[in-house]
Structure 1
Amino acid sequence: MLQYATNIVKIRQKLVKHFRCSSTSAKPNLTDTITINNKTFKRDDYTNITDKIVCLAQKSLHTTPHHPISLVRQRIVNYFYKTFLNSRRNPLFSVYDNLSPIVSLAQNFDSLLIPENHPSRLKSDCYYINREYLLRAHTTAHQAELIRAGLDNFLIVGDVYRRDEIDSKHYPVFHQLDAVRLKTKDQLFSCENDLKLFDCDDTACIPGGPTKQRCHTFEAFKLMEHELKTTLVGLAKELFGNQVRYRWVDTSFPFTQPSWELEVYYNNEWLEILGCGIMMQSLLTNVGVNNRIGWAFGLGLERIAMCLFKIQDIRLFWSNDSGFLNQFKDDDLKSPIIYKPISQHPQCIHDISFWLPEDKTDSLSFCSNDFYDLVRNVAGDLVEQVLLVDQFTHPKSGKKSLCYRIIYRHMERTLTNAEVNEVHQLIECAASDQFGVTIR
């Protein structure tokens, strides 16, 4: 018993030494600061970014030569370069792939007409630096500033951050590509002087509806819809081949109306690859653009890369293993590269069960994304998947118990039971310290 207690003390000391806790449940140190990409910010009660995420924010996979994420980016950029040309045969679209991922709440939400009560603003969904700044949840956060700067045709590429579950297809950092195209009356209708962009001055349309915005004329709307869908079907064929099957699905976004998702038939199922729509006119008028109509779309580069290169585990994109990276060193962007796994290492599976605090305030504030972030911060990419496998409420005390199954697997070697046990104990201690839970 004494030896067990000594081991726990050592594990706690190691935990303090190697990992600094940061959670939505812990009381923040208001005098503390956090440094991200050489910029320092004050922590406050909204800070929930972890050390693991801070480290990942220093990488730029989408601009790393021969990286699979960069290969997909280049293929999409090249498609737009050749599809949209000005009168001098130069590309119309400009590319912005080095914008800081640190954005204000106004950039990430307000500029895109996202309501204050929208679930995407929750601390359980986003990585907040403090009450004023966060790591962008989408590259769309930069749309308004680039339009305000006078740009009509542009692509934004970058890393985005969302708190999410842990499995082979989800990671807290991934990469997006966004596009915006704005057109004036003369550009849209050419010589048809009798046609107009707008029916009226009223831009107060309810977002998310299935029909055109009231302010747009039917002719303007249909021409923009046709160009948008033709462009994106062409992109799907560029990426997946001319024979790819596709379909359009109606959806809703706060910043476009109407809105659609494009799905392709891949691996015997329909896979959503992007979202798009006609830009809300009020978004444009808010940045001083009153004589243009626009379309926009956004897609995730990891999802495309996993399909094109047959990559089964999203963690591989962050691997420094030369056996993985060297497979993509091909100067031909259209080369049909298929990732070949070097080896299959066995899984190590451990469960962790704990009682949530009896204090109702603390227990109600706990969410699974808090625990997932803790696991990432302690174990890094040693963890392949975390599953909530059981929930139990004691019939007499009312205490709630949760059981998570943690699947460990290294991508490059076989893990030993000893090192997995040590990491698992670190997770137990961290959960106890950070959330006030009682390990069962």
Structure 2
Amino acid sequence: MTKLFLKPNRIYSIVLSKHKYSTAPKSVATVRIGDKDYPSDEYTNVTPKIISYLGRNLHLQRNNPLSIVRQRIVNYFYSSFTHRGNPTFSVYDNLSPIVTTKQNFDDLLIPADHPSRAKSDCYYVNKDMLLRAHMTAHQSELLKSGLDNFLMIGDVYRRDEIDSTHFPIFHQVDAVRSQRKDELFHDKPDLEIFEPIFDPKNPHGFINSINDPMKQSCHTLEATKLMEMQLKNHLLGLVKVLFGKDIKHRWVDEYFPFTHPSWELEIYYENKWMEILGCGIVRNEILANAGSTNTIAYAFGLGLERLAMALYKIPDIRLMWSTDSGFLSQFENKDINAKITYKPVSVFPQCVNDISFWLPPNYTIDTFVSNDFYDLVRDVGGDIIEQVRLKDKFVHPKSKKHSLCYSIIYRHLERTLTQVEVNEIHKQIEKAVVDNFNVTIR
């Protein structure tokens, strides 16, 4: 079995100097993560604040709600899939979050121009390495090692807006289940997984297409439909274990580069439809490239934060990172299937400060990347930043200068912030914005 992705995470740190948020730091030759130095380049946009979260592994921390949901999901797959009394699914929940662009994109058939590759969406160490944007980044290597049924669980990193439901780090469960002909059609040996044009001795000798919304061109309709039925039954079973057997649900057709056909599962929860997961039939090119030429597979991915916040009525995603005993004690030594409703330890007021600035000539209100600004605010303000909202865009009618205004909402989860200390942090943010983006504060 390959050892490349089975090393445990270490506590990571970063050594940077004169970091620039809008572009790669020109004065920084390397980025240090743990005890390794990575060369930086024009793609480098990972920040010290983001690196400081690596190695926390909330999904493995006792008494953390993310860990409880993880255990419930693992238990479902362990109990639902067994062979001679042993679980058929293996679990990988401590894989290194630093991956190559090949793992994160190329191996999953994600096109070169796909928006998910953009620097505005991902945290790049350099042009060849990044913090994984999804646990699916490990799929091909695990398939190459000979695994057929496995769960991949860990932290993933995406640049995003700042509010109570979004954080640049969240946790995912991704899974793959593969089956050979004798497993899929154990009672109907005359049926086939692949259309007759497929040659097992030459897995790349066909051109697979996804033009048919029902199936991939290499698969028979019978194989696709049976895998679809299994996939939906298995995932619906998981949702009922988590949310109750009477939960309303619906399947929505979707597109993902690495599966076809693909769906999203939504449940009707608290008077609205909520997306739970994405899934589909794995593109056969991925399996063939990994050396699996005689199987068909399904895959799915879901976010632990979304599930935990819904199940336990947790109002703010930042609470997942809290070490406050008042929060963690509510999940301590509980039956993992117990119905738990989070009770606020106390409620602290918000402080709201606006920041307005004129953009330099090389930016416009349409080309300025808000995610760059959000990362800077988070790096300076830390975890007391509750939300950042784009409040106003303005183009001066005479000078044609472009201006943006953001509202920054500050709130500490464990004490009341004073306006004086918020103002001081706000001044630091203003200075950082001027230094890094060459803007003029209005």
Question: TM tier, shorter chain?
Answer: over 0.9
- Does the CA contact (< 8 Å) of 1:203 and 1:282 recur in 2? no
2:49 corresponds to which letter in structure 1? Answer: K
C-alpha separation in 2, matches of 1:208 and 1:299: 26
**Are the structure 2 counterparts of residues 224 and 300 from structure 1 closer, same or farther at C-alpha, using a change threshold of 3 Å?**
same
Q: CA deviation at 1:363?
A: 7.5
- State whether residues 256 and 277 of structure 1, in contact with CA within 8 Å, keep that contact through their aligned partners in structure 2: yes
- State the Cα distance separating 1:209 from its structure 2 match: 5.9
Secondary structure of 1:114's match?
A: coil
Counterparts of residues 155-194 of structure 1 (less than 5 Å): 155-194=151-190
Contact 1:37 / 1:57 at 8 angstroms: preserved in 2? no
- TM-score under structure 1 normalisation? 0.93
Q: What amino acid is aligned across from residue 368 of structure 2 in structure 1?
A: F
**Matched residue of 2:408: which SS?**
strand
Confirm or deny: 8 A CA contact 1:208 1:259 kept in the other structure.
no
Partners of 2:219 and 2:210 in 1: CA distance: 14
- Tell me the percent identity: 59
Unpaired segments of 5 or more residues in structure 1? 1-17
Please state if 1:334 is matched with 2:337. Answer: yes
Q: Does 1:273 align with 2:276?
A: yes
Question: Hey, what does 1:109 align to over in structure 2?
Answer: 105
| Alpha-carbon spacing, 1:285–1:435, altered in 2? closer, same or farther (3 Å) | same
Query: 2:234 corresponds to which letter in structure 1?
Result: T
TM-score (norm 2): 0.92
- Of the three residues 74, 79, 82, the one matched with 1:82 is 79
Between structures 1 and 2, the one with greater helix share: 1
Select 1:223's aligned residue among 217, 223, 226: 226
Measure, in 2, the Cα distance between the counterparts of 1:203 and 1:258: 19
In structure 2, the CA distance between the partners of 1:26 and 1:79, relative to structure 1 (3 Å rule), is closer
Report the equivalent of 2:135. 139
Deviation at 1:166, TM superposition (A): 0.2
Whether the 8 Å CA contact 1:177–1:299 is kept in 2: the answer is yes
Kindly state the Cα deviation for residue 222 of structure 1 after the two structures are TM-superposed.
1.0
1:379 deviates by 0.4
| 1:104 partner letter | T
Where does residue 244 of structure 1 map in the other structure? 247
Maintained 8 Å contact 2:18/2:27: no
User: How far 1:365 sits from its partner (Å)?
Assistant: 5.4
SS state of the match for residue 117, structure 1? coil
Name the structure 2 match of 1:96.
Answer: 92
- 1:394-409 correspondence to structure 2 within 5 Å: 394-409=396-411
Q: 2:414 aligns with which of 412, 415, 426?
A: 412
Deviation at 1:27, TM superposition (A): 4.8
State the one-letter code of the partner of 1:370. Answer: D
Q: Could you say what secondary structure the match of 2:372 adopts?
A: helix
Task: Give the drift of 1:205.
Answer: 3.6
Give the aligned residue type for 1:176.
Answer: Q
Further displaced range: 365-374 or 298-307: 365-374
Q: 2:40 aligns with which of 40, 43, 57?
A: 43
Name the SS for the 2:151 alignment partner. strand
Q: Deviations over 1:355-398 (max 9, x none)?
A: 010235x8775300000000110001111110001000111222
Deviation sequence 1:71-116 (CA, Å, 0-9, x none): 0000000000000011x11100000001000000000000000000
Q: Cα offset for 1:19?
A: 8.7
Q: Is the 8 A contact 2:181 2:193 kept in 1?
A: yes
Question: 4, 12, 21: which one pairs with 1:23?
Answer: 21
* Separation (CA, whole Å) in 1 of partners of 2:71 and 2:230: 22
Secondary structure of the 1:22 match is coil
Alpha carbons of 1:22 and 1:58: their partners in 2 closer, same or farther (altered >3 Å)? farther
- Unpaired segments ≥5 residues, structure 2: 1-15, 199-204
Aligned length: 421
Q: How does 1:320-331 map to 2 (within 5 A)?
A: 320-331=323-334
Residues 42-78 of structure 1: per-residue CA shift (max 9 Å, x gap) = 1111100001001011311011112100000000000
Taking the TM superposition and a 5 Å limit, the aligned residue runs for 1:120-139 are: 120-139=116-135
Partner of residue 384, structure 1: 386
